[in-house]
Amino acid sequence: MRYFVAGLLTLLTACTLESEVVEPQLPTSPIAGRSTLAYRQGGRPVITFAGYKGLFNNGEPSVNARVAPDSLLVLYAEEDTSPSGLPVLRRRLELHVQRFGPPGQYGAALLSDSYYQEARLVDGSWQGGPLLRPQPNAPQQLTLGFTDKGWITGRFQLTFFDPAIGRTVQLTDGWLEVVPQ
């Protein structure tokens, strides 16, 4: 038994995994020329692109943005994790940014009605989790600008929380590009 354990430890220490195997790279440009939003949550990649319409988001593309007359920017992204072909986890991210205009830092302009939400498919129906709001006093990094084609582009590191359940979610290495539909 002692030799088995020693052999097993030797085998395990000889195995290595590269970060690309464990944590695939996030895209750096729009997928298939469509609006794309990507980030890491808990180290795992989450990638959303405007590849479908109408399934869960009232006919809107799954990555979308609109600017209201008062310069309020609303960015919306919804992603379904479907390892078996059926969605089992849905993530929804909505960012409300006040006074959107020139390229720059907008972390302080992130409004409290922004949210992150997860829903799970349970017995054939979606069970929505709580809306996690931007965590006060957390450094919210949101840089927004425009591509040379006038598309909205940005990078982000955001923290959302729900004090009622004590849950905090960090979205890191975030990247987005919204292509006009």
| Tens digit of each residue's pLDDT (9 = 90 or more) over 57-75 | 454 567 888 888 888 898 8
Q: pLDDT value at position 2?
A: 52
For residue 77, the Cα-to-chain-centroid distance in whole angstroms is 7
Confidence of residue 82 (pLDDT cuts 50, 70, 90): low
User: What tokens were used for 71?
Assistant: 């310069």
C-alpha 143/C-alpha 75 separation (Å) is: 13
Element spanning 169, H or E:
strand 167-178
Please give the residue that has the higher pLDDT: either 84 or 43: 43
Q: What are phi and psi of 102, to 5 degrees?
A: -70, 160
Identify the bridge partners of residue 174 per DSSP, sorted by sequence position.
156
Please give the residue that has the higher pLDDT: either 127 or 159: 159
Q: pLDDT value at position 81?
A: 63
